[in-house]
């Protein structure tokens, strides 16, 4: 029996906010480094403090936001992992009850068929 994994609120935040934010910040940082290395005019070198400050201004709040999301996401995942043994035990009990119910139903059908057969043999024998 398979259950479909649901996407929680924190998973959505990680997917739609944190991941693009991190990738944007990394892309911008790599672009500044690349521009600084390949800059023949000296514009990036002369304004390096500005670009470093810009990276820090973007990265500071992003880091705080991402840390908060990561903590919430980790606590949600830990709660799911802690609930996993109980869920698995409940699934096993449900499967066991379904199997027992099926066996009892088949037994009842066989008993019923046997009762009908014995009744018909009595009627023919009488």
Is pLDDT of 93 > 90?
Answer: yes
Is 99 within 8 Å of 91 (Cβ atoms)? Answer: no
pTM above 0.85, yes or no: no
Instruction: Give the pLDDT of residue 5.
Output: 65
Q: Is 42 left (phi over 0), alpha (psi -120 to 50) or beta?
A: left
Radius of gyration of the chain measured on its C-alpha atoms: 33
Is pLDDT of 120 > 80?
Answer: yes
Is pLDDT of 64 > 60?
Answer: yes
Mean per-residue pLDDT, 24-38: 83
């Amino acid at each position: 029996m398979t259950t479909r994994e649901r996407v929680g609120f924190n998973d959505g935040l990680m997917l739609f906010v944190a991941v693009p934010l991190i990738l944007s910040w990394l892309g911008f940082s790599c672009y500044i480094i690349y521009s600084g290395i390949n800059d023949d005019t000296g514009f990036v070198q002369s304004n390096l403090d500005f670009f470093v400050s810009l990276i820090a201004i973007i990265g500071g709040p992003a880091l705080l936001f991402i840390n908060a999301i990561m903590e919430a996401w980790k606590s949600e995942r830990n709660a799911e992992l802690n609930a996993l043994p109980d869920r698995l035990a409940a699934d096993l009990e449900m499967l066991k009850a379904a199997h027992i119910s099926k066996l009892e139903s088949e037994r009842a059908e066989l008993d019923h068929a046997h009762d009908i057969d014995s009744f018909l043999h009595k009627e023919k024998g009488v």
